[in-house]
Chain A
């Protein structure tokens, strides 16, 4: 079945350092979605990428979708304590609306 993998599983950074999480799917995706889950919270939608090679920015966050539409990355520039949480990527199962989520990357920011 479809698998979505994320690395690293955990990342500890000093405040002000950059952070990147990588997402890889076993199948080609029609789109990929990124979510952020704060400790004790629920997943909150960040962005959706649809086109091959697409790059989107949201302030300090940069999202990329690979040319083959099987991988994606999220890069945060100059992390802040408000960036703390777990970042998930998710892709739709072919022919369905259900999302397959990665295990997430848990980001800790040391002030």
Chain B
């Protein structure tokens, strides 16, 4: 099964450290999305890419958050100078251009900031 994969699955870090998460989308999918989910809430959109172009990034939570998809395949989400409020599940999803934007989610990376 070549679904969306994310790495690492869990990350514990100290406040002030930088963290980077990786997402590998379904191979033929050219749209890739990042969401954040906190306890008891639905996923909250952060940013998305079509191929290597980042088409929406205004929802990134602050300038400490950045995302890249340099070759239009995998993507990374970086959080600089982490804060305790950044603790959440970070979800990646992918979809196919030309489809109906059905988004398939990866297992997520759970971030805990101490």
Q: Which residues of A contact B (CB under 8 A)?
A: 4, 31, 33, 35, 41-45, 48, 50, 88, 90, 92, 96-104
- Cβ contacts under 8 Å, A90 to chain B: 42-43
A99 touching B105 in the complex, CB below 8 Å, given contacts A42-B91, A43-B91, A104-B42: no
Query: Using Cβ atoms and an 8 Å threshold, which residues of chain A touch B65?
Result: none
The 23 listed contacts between A and B (C-beta, < 8 Å) are A4-B42, A31-B101, A35-B105, A42-B106, A42-B107, A43-B43, A43-B91, A43-B105, A44-B105, A45-B103, A45-B105, A88-B42, A97-B31, A97-B33, A97-B95, A97-B101, A98-B33, A98-B45, A98-B56, A99-B43, A99-B45, A99-B103, A103-B41
CA distance A96 to B45 in the complex (A): 12
Contact pick for B45, options A31, A44, A100, CB 8 Å:
A100
Extra contacts, 4 of them, besides A43-B105, A104-B41 (Cβ < 8 A), are A33-B103, A35-B105, A99-B103, A101-B43
- With A98-B59, A99-B45, A103-B41: A31-B100 Cβ-Cβ less than 8 Å: yes
Given contacts A42-B106, A42-B108, A97-B48, contact A48 B100 (CB under 8 A): yes
Q: How many residues of B contact A (CB 8 A)?
A: 24
Bound together, the chains give a CA A31 to CA B104 distance in angstroms of 16
Q: Which residue from chain B places its CB closest to the CB of A47 in the assembled complex? A: B102
Instruction: Establish whether residues A101 and B102, one from each chain, have CB atoms under 8 Å apart when the complex forms.
Output: no
Interface positions of B from 42 to 85, Cβ below 8 Å from A: 42-45, 48, 50, 55-56, 59
Nearest 5 CB-CB pairs, A to B?
Answer: A101-B42, A98-B45, A42-B105, A43-B105, A101-B43
Which single member of B42, B100, B106 contacts A50 (CB below 8 Å)?
A: B100
A101 and B44 contact, Cβ closer than 8 Å, known pairs A42-B108, A96-B56: yes
**Contacts A98-B56, A103-B40 given: A45-B45 contact, CB under 8 Å?**
no
| Cβ contact within 8 Å between B103 and A102 | no
Q: Kindly list chain A residues whose C-beta atoms are within 8 Å of the C-beta of B33.
A: 97-99
